């Protein structure tokens, strides 16, 4: 007969169970508690049964809390938040580009009107047509200046609002990182 020796080894995990497995285990325990307490022929909800259920709920709550505080979940939440910040900054920059485009169009229209006015003045036709062209040019120029001022004001407000939101979000993200890494103690 061959000489065989059986050696048992006990290996301990290098770290505790992952948080999500603990949550699943606690959920299974609660489901088991629920099915056994409901199917019980005696009083289904005795004081002891209710106490066991509440203890199970407390354990589940603690496991979920640990899961939410885990570095991996915190990183995922931070990435999501940063993505949202980038999206908001992109929207603000698109608004600024739109305002710049509108302002550019207004300046080009105004330039065209000025050229028409200069052309009329060069022909030395200072009669009624020149006066009328000048009046129209001034009217359009005033309208364009009003539009440009409104567009610039809107762009300024959008930029300021986006900047304030980005500062607040960056502060929230910094605090979340500090809390996750334990630097905020």
The DSSP code sequence of 55-123 is HHHHHHHHHHHHHHHSHHHHHHHHHHHHHHHHHHHHHHHHHHHHHHHHHHHHHHHHHHHHHHHHHHHHT
Query: How confident is the model at residue 73, as a pLDDT?
Result: 83
Angle value at C-alpha 9, between 8 and 11, nearest 5 degrees = 150
Q: How far is CA 160 from CA 2, 155, 157, in A?
A: 84, 9, 5
Please count the CA atoms within 13 angstroms of the CA of 131 that sit on its side-chain side: 3
- The pLDDT score that the predictor gives to residue 165 is 73
- pTM > 0.85: no
> Most distant CA pair in the chain: distance in Å?
129
What does the mean pLDDT of the chain come to?
74
SS3 181: helix
At residue 128, the pLDDT reads 63
Q: Specify the range with the lowest mean pLDDT, choosing from 58-67, 82-91, 174-183.
A: 174-183
Confidence of residue 57 (pLDDT cuts 50, 70, 90): confident
pLDDT at 126 (0 to 100) = 57
Which residue reads 């030395």 in tokens? 124
pLDDT of residue 72: 83
How much is the average pLDDT of 45-67?
Answer: 83
């Amino acid at each position: 007969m061959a000489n065989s020796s059986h050696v048992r080894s006990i290996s301990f995990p290098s770290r505790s169970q992952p948080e999500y497995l603990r949550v699943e285990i606690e959920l299974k325990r609660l489901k088991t508690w629920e099915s056994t307490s409901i199917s019980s022929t005696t009083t289904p909800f005795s004081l002891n049964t209710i106490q066991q259920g509440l203890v199970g709920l407390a354990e589940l709550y603690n496991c979920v809390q640990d899961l939410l505080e885990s570095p991996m979940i915190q990183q995922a939440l931070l990435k999501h938040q940063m993505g949202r910040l980038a999206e908001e900054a992109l929207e603000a920059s698109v608004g600024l580009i739109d305002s710049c485009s509108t302002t550019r169009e207004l300046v080009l229209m105004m330039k065209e009107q000025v050229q028409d006015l200069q052309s009329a003045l060069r022909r030395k036709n200072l009669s009624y047509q020149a006066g009328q062209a000048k009046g129209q040019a001034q009217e359009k120029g005033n309208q364009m200046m009003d539009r440009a001022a409104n567009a610039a004001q809107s762009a300024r407000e959008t930029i300021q609002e986006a900047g304030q939101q980005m500062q607040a979000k960056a502060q929230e993200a910094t605090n979340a990182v500090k809390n996750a890494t334990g630097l905020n103690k």
